[in-house]
A and B are shown apart, each in its own frame.
Chain A
Amino acid sequence: MRLKILVVEDDREIRAMMQSSLSVEGFDVQTAVSLSEARALLQHASPDVIVLDLGLPDGDGVELVQQVRQQQTLPIIIVSARHQEAQKIRSLDAGADDYLVKPFSVGELLARIRVALRHRGTALAAAITEHTLDDLHVDLATRLVQRDGDTVHLTPTEFNLLARLVRSAGRVVTHRQLLTDVWGPEYTEHTHYLRLYMGQLRAKIERNPAEPRHLLTETGVGYRLAIV
């Protein structure tokens, strides 16, 4: 069965580019040019992924993210321009799964969609509890973290931080989401905890902490655990 993608984008050229390159990859692509059209389409169609541009003529994309999240868990990928930084982060905090910044390449778009689909349904079905990439192996069930086969000893906070990223492996997790899930909702402004603990975690896990292989920084947004 062909996977269905809803592309919400008001610029004609970019919409046409996404439609053709996604169709070539075998997706069934539907397009909408505004929030209202997207809402109308969502009432009948049930896409597997939504690619949502933030700069739409009839409203804030964050509204659509919130609305969709009330009923569905389908992946939402945000497409933003550089000046929409704040709106992008609000959308991610509201439950969008990932983001792309214009101008982006087709390769990046496809990679994001692949990651999003990997997580499809994980909120309902079994969550990711194991992660392996190159020299790193993490098993959340047994609280085991290994590098090159050697056990890495993490403090409880370091482990919780890593575990939160493993559950969303490949996807960006915002600062606010990490602080809320690891420290608690009253710590959302304590960004320095993240800097300090992420530094410790990198020192234990990465070969070269200054050029990380696993714990990637999304500057100004959050962190991402590499899966490729």
Chain B
Amino acid sequence: MSSLFPDPLIISELRKSFGERHAVNGVSFSVGASEFVALLGPNGAGKSTLFQMLSGLFVPDSGTASVTGFDIGKEPIAALARLGIVFQQPALDLDLTVEANLRFQTDLHGIPRSEARQRITYWLQRFGLTERAAEPCRQLSGGTRRKVELARALLSQPQLLLMDEATVGIDPASRNAILNDVKTLCREQAMGVLWATHLVDEAEAADRIIVMAEGTVRFTGTPKELIKLDGHKNLTEAFLHLTRKEARA
């Protein structure tokens, strides 16, 4: 933790309960620079609660999470400045144009206007959105909206990118495109990526898979290791086995 270049994300013994229910029950792991980590878990595994804590929206009951060494609870502003988030729920202002949505973000991050213009131009071009820059987001398809949200998250040059079930409700082609884009960017920008999903095929491409169920981490390792575990034939089988309720015992 005290190294010169701390990992983009270090989570230690994070806990959050809602009444009697332990949504996140002592989770610890880290995400390194240029590492693409898939957080795989069924619905209700606690992924979203975990993400809410990582983005500072929920306060954990105990434990810590730090982004490039900045504790999200103690130094939220420094941590948030290094964090890019694509939320599970779309968070675009549909009445604003693509460009205005992006500029809203650069303003919120305090990126000077001239610098912001360059970055916006760059990312629009990169995602093939240049021609749609002046269109209100309402006119865009679900997949394109997601691309805009991804571009928006990258504007502040984050060191950690959180993707919270970012491909829900998007057709397979767009889903693949976004997954590949993020994988490429992960290497190229040397940023850590935490990709939450309940879809096993999305996790296949990851450097590391963290399987979460009922608020706890069930497995950490490469996709290959996950398949080898207990001699399963494929990821899906291994995943289903791990997250079955009986697997607790």
The answer to whether A and B assemble together is no
Mark A residues whose CB is within 8 Å of B.
none
Mark B residues whose CB is within 8 Å of A.
none
